[in-house]
Amino acid sequence: MTTLTSLNYTPVEAPTRKAHKYTKPERQCWRTPNTPAQPVLQLVARSLDGGEIGLDPCADDARTVPAHNHITFAQNCLVANWHYPGAPQGAFINPPFDQPHLYLARAVETLHRNNIQEAIALLKIGTLSDQKTGALIKAHASAVCCWGAGKAGRMAFVDCDGYAVSGADFDTCSVYFGKSPGRFMQVFDQWGLVAKIQG
């Protein structure tokens, strides 16, 4: 288990390189940015109770999200146990772009079992209107931030090699599941359009 003092949410610039054409599998594993211009992981941590990410259930092999616990893709969070006693009970989920509803359904199930207390999912904005994912969000989520909305621009992910991507060709949103939507909305307000979800 990671110790509290070893977690670092300080935004840092990701290195850049010459333009690179990404394959679909490479785009599936883009990492969440945490740069001065887009301090996403810092915002997530501030939005969760205690200011720490307890679990990253969609972790890359390098475990780049500063969380107390990680479940890598090889460990498969769809079947792995999300319960880590003694750790903060907030999860951050950046699922593969294909079939995100499977990961949200697992998060909702885990919330209902009280294995986690809250979660923030980073998703393509189109998932809000997707039949499967949108239904889960409408029924179980508490708040949403449509990233950018004229304020921060489209999210600039980090690729699987650790290099900054110039900018995604799609819009994103962060969806909050839990009992403190006000805190989430306050933290994310200056970075996009925030709204409470009435289930």
The per-residue pLDDT for 2 is 43
Q: In a 3-state reduction of DSSP, which class is residue 145?
A: strand
pLDDT of residue 17: 82
Is 167 within 8 Å of 27 (Cβ atoms)? no
Q: Which fold has domain 25-196?
A: Rossmann fold (3.40.50)
In this prediction, residue 1 carries a pLDDT of: 42
The DSSP call for residue 179 is S
For 50, 59, 63, 64, the CA distances from 67, given in Å and listed in that order, are 12, 9, 8, 9
What is the pLDDT at residue 150? 62
- The whole-number pLDDT of residue 151 equals 65
pLDDT reported for residue 18? 76
Q: In tens digits, what is the pLDDT along the chain, a chain of 199 residues?
A: 444 446 899 999 988 887 778 887 777 778 999 999 999 999 999 999 999 999 999 999 899 999 999 999 999 999 999 999 999 999 999 998 888 999 999 999 999 999 999 999 999 999 999 999 999 999 999 999 999 876 668 888 998 888 888 767 889 999 999 999 999 999 999 999 999 997 5
Q: Chain centroid to CA 166: how far?
A: 19
Domain positions in the chain are: 25-196
Answer yes or no: are the C-beta atoms of 87 and 68 closer than 8 Å: yes
Which tokens in the block code for residue 132?
């499967």
What's the predicted TM-score (pTM) here? 0.93
149-165 burial by CB neighbour count: b if 16+ within 10 A, else e? eeebeebbbbbbeeebb
